[in-house]
Structure formats: structure tokens, C-alpha cells
Amino acid sequence: MDLNFTEEQKAFRAEVRGFLQEKLPQRLSDKVRLGQRLTKEDYEEWHAILNEKGWLAGNWPKEHGGAGWNAVERHIFEEETTAASAPRIVPFGLAMLGPVLQKFGSKEQQQYWLPRILDGSDWWCQGYSEPGAGSDLASVKTTAERDGDHYVVNGQKTWTTLGQYANMIFCLVRTSKEGKPQEGISFLLIDMDDPGITVRPIVLIDGEPEVNEVFFDNVRVPASNLVGEENKGWTYAKYLLTHERTNIAGVGFANAGLANLKRIAKLEQSGGRPLIEDPLFAAQIAEVEIALMAMATTNLRVVSAAAAGQAPGAESSMLKVKGTVIRQEINALTKVAVGPYAMPFVSETLEAGTNEGPVGPDYAMAATPHYLNNRKLSIYGGSNEVQKTIIAKAILEL
């Protein structure tokens, strides 16, 4: 047992930190720090900076243009980028589709699509959930019927994050109604500009149209856009979900959120003293900090096992549950910490560069939107209840 990073890992951390100091535009880190909205161009700018360094796809092997980092190196990168308030890397192409194409895609698909993810030619979104298929993902109903060299797709996807920016969507579609629901699903790549596709934004309780509904009406998709084999899509989908879950503990986000909470609690006054000196509030911060200290070590245990080649099992489900609950608690305490200035709902103040200044202190304006928006954490990526069922089944073998 050794909780210290190796000299090589420390050197890597220093390299990442130096790179961020030099290359992360202040304009972007200011926005992230204040919780302001990032535009499509903001994300693309940051992606391009990372891609130039060869660091955009940390999880991809070098042969596909990735950085080829192991789990520990990816963890260090995530810690440093979140601590520096860098924009997050949009995961759909890089963290989700990329690994699926590398594992199950044809040579042609890899050669065509992977470079386009790296250089930003394509913005991908995820076509998994449907109105009738949330946690029960295998019950997807969107159909794809073969017609010559094409599939004809009909149906609806929903909760499509940042679908408004995307030109491509990877979808789970039903190609067979035979057998178990899992057996008739295929994995299809669809151009969002194809005739018959309609995107309708869904405004969430934080006032943001972060997610969308995507409708398919006789959309013709080239059969060459099928990934792997027909009716084997469930296997690929599950593979993708394991990748989605490995980083889902969100230790970096939690650390950044906790630091922000403490900063706010020092600036806010209660009873004529800094809020952080209120013993009851300080105890609530301490409780979540202690939980985070332990969770971060659980995460390192899983990361370290993954770097040694072990596949994550029920641990990633445990991390998903614990990590999301901790982040939600930090969001809730932050909302409490800012006090009455959590109430103003002036959406424009979250746009950088507008004339609309914050109503109260600048650190207060994102507290409520973040609190509301992050209710999603325990719902998406397999709800926490689904994760608990997975954990119990793995242990009880029932």
C-alpha cells in the first residue's frame, strides 16, 4: 500500500499544470469558475487547444490519435483540469463513441470517423433514451428497417444532451422484434442533417435547453453506418455505458465544487461573522468533505486497479451512487450558502459579455441553476436505483 504518486506521475501532473497555465484561455476559465454558459464555440476552442497537444482523447490508444494514458494518468489530467476551471471535454464523441468504434467498428469506420471526432468536424450526440425507455434502455422502440443499401429509421429519442449543437447522432435502434428485447437492437450512426429529422429543445428547471427531443420520420441512413453486427447493439451499448461510468465519480468536479463552497462560506456573513464560522454550517461542509476524502480514495483504488488491467465491476456502480450524492450535496450547500441571492432568476446574467450584471455577488448567480441542473446526476447514466440493483445482484448472485 502506498498512497503517494510515483515520480513519473508527479512529473506528468506538473506537465499538465504547466500546460494549463500557458494554454487555458482566461476567458474560458473565468466562465467556468463563475458557472456561466459555455457556447459551442467555447467548447470547440478548448478541444482544438487540447487536440493540438495530442491530449484531447486521453483514453484513446495512440494508434487512433489518442494520448494513450492509463487510468491513473487520466485521473491526474481530470484533477488538474477541473482544479484549473477548464471547460469539460464534451464526452459524446470522445469518451463514448470513440471507444465503441475502436472496439467494434470496421476499419473504414475507424479511419473515417475517429479523425473527425478529434479535429471537431463532427459534434456527436447520444441517441439512447426514449420516452418509453429510460432506465429500462432495452425497451427502445425506434425502428430501423432495411431497404436496399439503407435503413429507414422511424421513432423518437429524448434527453439528447447538446443535440442542438450536433451534426451526428449515434442511436440504439430496433432491427428485430424477435427474442428478448436486448437481442433486436442495433447501433447506428445518423447524420442530423438528413431529411426527416426534427430537433425540439427541452427547457429544464434551470431555464436551460440543455437537452432535446429528436424525431425520426422515414430517415434514410446508409447501411454502412451500422456499427458491428445487426442486432448486437446491446453489447456495444453496455460497453459504452461502462466507459460512461468509469469517470462518473466526478472527483474533480466535487473538489472544485467544495473549494467554491468554502470560498463562498468565507465571504458570506451570518450573525455578523463569516458563515464558515457557524458551527452547524461548518459541520455540514465537514461532513461532505470527509465523505469526499473517502470517495476520492475509493476512486483511486478503482483507477489503480484499472491501470493494472482489471475490469471495473460493481465498484463503478458504487462510485456512481456515492459520487453523485456527494456532488448534489455540495450543490445544495452552495445554494444555502449564498442565501437570498440564490433567488434572482435572471438567465441573461449567465451569458458572458452581456450588459446584464449579476444581481448580487457574482459567485451567487450560478448556485441555483447548478443545484437544479445537477439533480440529473442521480438520474442519468443508469439511475442510482438501477446502480443499486446492479450492486446487489453482483454481490448476492441472485
By C-alpha distance, which of 194, 191, 192, 189 is closest to 227?
189
Judged by CB under 8 A, the residue of 180, 293, 309, 340 near another protein is: 293
Q: Is 207 exposed, middle or buried (0-12, 13-18, 19+ CB in 10 A)?
A: middle
* Active-site residue, selected from the candidate residues 78, 244, 315, 329: 244
Please list every residue from 7 through 26 that binds another protein, using CB under 8 A.
9
Q: Would you count residue 70 as binding another protein (CB under 8 A)? A: no
Of 39 and 269, nearer to another protein (C-beta) is 269
Asked if residues 298 and 318 have their Cβ atoms less than 8 Å apart, the reply is: yes
| Pairing between β-strand 226-227 and β-strand 211-222 as defined by DSSP bridges | unpaired
282 near another protein, rule: CB under 8 A: yes
CA 312 – CA 126 distance, rounded (Å)? 23
**Do 345 and 368 meet the contact criterion of CB atoms below 8 Å apart?**
yes
CA-nearest of 16, 15, 19, 46 to 31 is 46
Adjacent-strand bridge partners of 133: 130
Binding residue count for another protein, defined by CB under 8 A: 45
| Least separation in angstroms between CB 75 and another protein | 9
Task: State yes or no: is 244 an active-site residue.
Answer: yes
Please tell me whether residue 396 binds another protein under the rule CB under 8 A: yes
Task: Report yes or no: 219 and 190 within 8 Å, Cβ to Cβ.
Answer: yes
The single residue among 34, 241, 300, 379 that binds another protein, judged by CB under 8 A, is 300
Judged by CB, which is closer to another protein: 92, or 281?
281
In 3D space, the residue among 91, 79, 70, 83 whose CA is nearest the CA of residue 29 turns out to be: 83
Footprint on residues 308-367 left by another protein (CB under 8 A): 314-315, 318, 321-322
- 146's enclosing H/E stretch is strand 143-147
Interacting positions 72-91 with another protein (CB under 8 A): 72
Min separation Cβ 282 and another protein, Å: 5
Residue 6 found at the interface with another protein (CB under 8 A): yes
Query: Catalytic site residues?
Result: 244
Interface residue list for another protein (CB under 8 A): 1-6, 9, 72, 276-277, 279, 282-283, 285-287, 289-291, 293-298, 300-301, 304-305, 314-315, 318, 321-322, 385, 387-389, 391-393, 395-398
